[in-house]
């Protein structure tokens, strides 16, 4: 296996990050909550606060307003080097974690930018207690127009133009992050866990 990096942030989305109605629908990161630990299940993720309170992610099948698409988007993962590239293009407001992924990995190779092809063999997480957790079916988390406009600081009520189209293309192919599936028993991960490519 090859070391991909280390988990430096865990978080959940307790509500949808796309708010309002068209044509004034916009991206609002207020629903993102940093957590101390994350439980992975086949239904998605649940966050745990420092004092042990659970926070269900809106992409968990059991969430009352679930946005789960048949198990293909229950877990999301992003990388610090991708954020570096996004900040270089859009600005400092694109802070680590602002795209809403559950797991943020600080890459061992700070110059690496990954695409879906790199994860055909899945991703392995080495939990603190020595257990290995396998994430499979890794696919691109395609960027939405609302996040793209947020990154661009594009006016919510302005008609999209070529700038938005080019930014969507830049954010695609994994730049914004990836979705993954987990098929094992419920298990918990914490900050500092190592992440590997098989």
Is the pTM higher than 0.85? The answer reads: yes
Full domain range(s) for residue 115: 2-197
How many independent structural domains does the chain possess?
1
67 falls in which pLDDT band (50, 70, 90)?
confident
Question: Per residue in 71-88, pLDDT tens?
Answer: 788 899 999 999 999 999
- Tell me the three-class secondary structure of the chain, residue by residue: CEEEEEEEEEEEECCCCEECCCCCCEECHHHEEECCEEEEECCEEEEECCCCCEEECCCCCCCCCCCCCCCCCCEEEEEHHHHHHHHHHHCCCCCCCCCCCCEEEEECCCCCCCCHHHHCCCEEEECCCCCEEEEEEEEECCCCHHHHHHHHCCCCCCCCCHHHHHHHHHHCCCCCCEEEECCCCCEEEECCCEEEEC
Question: Per residue in 97-113, pLDDT tens?
Answer: 999 999 999 999 999 99
Query: In this structure, what CATH number is given to the domain that contains residue 110?
Result: 2.40.33.20
Question: Per residue in 21-38, pLDDT tens?
Answer: 887 889 999 999 999 999
């Amino acid at each position: 296996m090859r070391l991909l990096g280390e988990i430096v942030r865990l978080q959940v989305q307790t509500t949808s990050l796309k708010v309002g109605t068209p044509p004034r629908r916009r991206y609002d990161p207020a629903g993102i909550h940093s957590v101390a630990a994350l439980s992975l299940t086949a239904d998605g993720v649940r966050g745990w606060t420092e004092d042990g309170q659970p926070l269900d992610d809106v992409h968990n099948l059991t969430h009352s307003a679930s946005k789960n698409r048949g198990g293909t988007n229950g877990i999301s993962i992003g990388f610090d080097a991708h954020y570096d590239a996004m900040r270089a293009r859009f600005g400092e407001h694109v802070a680590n974690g602002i795209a809403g992924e559950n797991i943020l990995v600080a890459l061992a190779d700070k110059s690496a930018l990954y695409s879906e092809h790199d994860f055909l063999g899945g991703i392995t997480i080495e939990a603190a207690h020595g257990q290995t957790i396998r994430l499979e079916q890794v696919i691109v988390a395609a960027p939405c127009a609302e996040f793209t406009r947020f990154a661009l600081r594009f006016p919510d009520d302005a008609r999209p133009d070529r700038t938005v189209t080019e930014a969507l293309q830049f954010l695609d192919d994994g730049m914004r992050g990836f979705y993954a599936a987990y098929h094992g028993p419920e298990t918990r991960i914490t900050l500092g866990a190592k992440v590997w490519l098989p």
